[in-house]
């Protein structure tokens, strides 16, 4: 009877040790998973930050290109307008000069 009790107690000790070992292993697996998860989240944040920065830089380049294109377009239109109206402007200048000369001659 004593031997049976001793065997049961030994078995309980072995089971307790196995359970404790399983708990330790589970805790280690959990820590490892949390560390890996944290690292992946950190990597994903870094990648997202890089992607956002690249998108901002690309948008800035595109805005600068569009601005330059618009300025060139406006400059071309201005040149065209001035060239198309050059004769009219010259005529107006001549008329103004003539009016000034005529007014000056009458005084």
pLDDT at residue 40 greater than cutoff 80 = yes
pLDDT at residue 103 greater than cutoff 90 = no
Tell me: the pLDDT tens digits for 50-84?
999 999 999 999 999 999 999 999 999 988 888 88
Write the CB contacts of 82 (distance below 8 Å, at least 6 apart in sequence): 89
Q: Please report, rounded to a whole number, the percentage of residues in the chain having pLDDT higher than 90.
A: 66
Residues in the chain: 107
How many whole angstroms separate alpha carbon 49 and alpha carbon 61?
A: 18
pLDDT at residue 106 greater than cutoff 70 = no
Q: What is the mean pLDDT of residues 35-52?
A: 97
pTM for this entry: 0.53
């Amino acid at each position: 009877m004593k031997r049976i009790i001793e065997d049961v107690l030994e078995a309980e000790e072995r089971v307790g040790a196995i359970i404790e070992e399983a708990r330790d292993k589970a805790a280690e697996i959990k820590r490892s998973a949390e560390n890996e998860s944290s690292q992946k989240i950190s990597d994903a944040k870094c990648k997202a930050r890089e992607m956002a920065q690249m998108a901002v830089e690309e948008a800035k380049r595109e805005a600068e290109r569009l601005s330059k294109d618009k300025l060139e377009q406006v400059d071309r239109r201005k040149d065209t307008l001035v060239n198309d109206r050059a004769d009219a402007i010259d005529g107006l200048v001549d008329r103004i000069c003539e009016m000034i000369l005529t007014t000056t001659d009458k005084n």
